[in-house]
Structure 1
Amino acid sequence: MDNKGTDTSESDIESLSSIFKKGLESYNNITNSDQPTNSPDMQISIKRTMKTFEDATRLVSLAGIFSNNESIDEVSTSDLQYFLLPALLGSLNLKLTSGERKDIVDVAEIYFKDFLLRCNAYNLSNYQDKKTDEKLNKTELEQLLTAVNTRANKIQRFKEQKELKSKLGDLKKNIENEHVDEEIKREYFITMIKLFIHEAIEELNSIDMEKPILEHMDNMKKDDKIQPKRALPPPLRPIIITKDEVQKAVFGAGYPSLPTMTVNEFYDKRVAEGIFPDPNKKKTVPTSLQEAALAGMSLNQDEKEEELKDKLIEEDDEENIARMRAKDEFKDDHRRGWGNRMNRS
């Protein structure tokens, strides 16, 4: 084939060949690697290989290697491999994990369609870009026939893919020979192109199924931006006095660092401090007006009340002493008149 690029030298063509070979080796290493695709090293390799193929694509464009008015027989054997550039870039794009998935899928779709349409132009494929509205306009019978044909086509493509892979493996062994025949070399590249045609169609079918999901997710994100979720208030962390051990376990479990007590624990603590009377000690005489009334004492006899107080003091009743001490401590901490500031700060 004559060189169509007027500004491209032989050194540029040699450079293109070496660049593409380097990129293809890297691509094969990526696809055959056991390393996770989302690993940092793998993502670096994918982006580096994409850069290599992008450079090769620019050189192909400068050289004007492909033309719309020629057949596949007019393309030189060494140039056949450059048919694969958009398919390789589309495949690598789908392996990217950084950035918006919708953008990645859109770019990959452009690459695969560009590859298939160029193959159509050279009669290597008969790919048809199906429109969604065409499917909607079909009758039920036509849709059923389409489904049957689609299934049959999938089975046929699977068989062809299997045959092409086997054939490509055999040809690859011969292509590594330094003195390989030109026809074998040509057949190797065309077989590789046909195999990528099947893979590109499969990827486009997968993209057709993925895009509605991505659009739905994108709409959900937009709705979230319009109506942002209200931030939940921080959880309350109260100091509580629970009724029993069960509630203590329930409420205390959520706040292990907070002092949580049952009612009984609280009362026992106050008894130990001498503030509350000990219920286990036997009372010798009533210690309050209410208890005196319950004991049958007359509440109207002030003298008897005073005698009762004096008697408690003389007998050094422990409960009475504790009560009086608590009262004195209260008076010391709350002196008379402290609560009345006469509206002064």
Structure 2
Amino acid sequence: MMAEAGAGGPRLAELLALGRRLWDELEASTEPSSGAPAVQDKVRQGLDALQRAAAMVAQLELFSENEELEEIASADLKFMLLPALLGALTLKQVDLSRRWEHLETRYKQKKELENKLASMSSSVESGTADEDQVREFYILQIQKWIGTSLEEIESIDQELVILRSRDAAKQAPAGPRGPSRPARTPVKPFILTRDAAQARVFGVGYPGLPTMTVDDWYEQRRRQGIVSQQGFGEPGSPPCSSPPAGASDEELQKQQHETEEEKDDEEALWKARDWDDWKDTHPRGYGNRHNMG
């Protein structure tokens, strides 16, 4: 038996179809949160349509308590889904204040059930409890597991929302990337003036590296005429040089006199060094025994 609303109003079948369509859209939604405005708007629309449909079913008395399932017309069977759809959409309503009150009430009920079960378990397990206590004990256990199942269902629903949003993010095409950053020219190394001056003073850095070997330096000095081909003499001795050809006796005597002075200077230098070494190893007053007590 089909029914229609008043003139210009939606038909019963249309209200049921609207409620089911909104429910299917909510199930397939990729919104990250069930409290999103778009989600809650669809929940309100679906509840409104299904509540109007349920009122029409009650007004038309489509179903009777005396009817069996076989006696209900096939076209009217779909309206038996109205209570289930209403309950499902009601659970999708998100009201933070009501939700916190609901969670607090459920937590208190859970603690009361656990306390009652703990106080009754010993007598039931030992067999001293009567039939009414045993019946109450198992009813409390059923209530406890109903609450546990509801909590797990809510947790599963939240996980499904997360998984759907993740799948939607993977399937979504990647957006156009922004303009690539222009290539930057490499920065030339620079040396601060203070560091450069410090490197010259302490002999660190590239300017302090040797530019030629000892052999190269000697060859350069030899080409400049500063060093003879025979090289340097023994340490401490002046380089040997033969008198120039055609030199007079006066010049020879002058050169000999200079050579003797250089030798005397070297002997004086060695004596002064020996005297300094002796003073370093012998303190002042060493060997003076006149004032000994």
- TM-score, normalization: structure 2? 0.35
- TM-score, normalization: structure 1? 0.30
- Mark the structure with the bigger radius of gyration: 2
Larger RCO: 1 or 2 (CA < 8 Å, sep 6+): 2
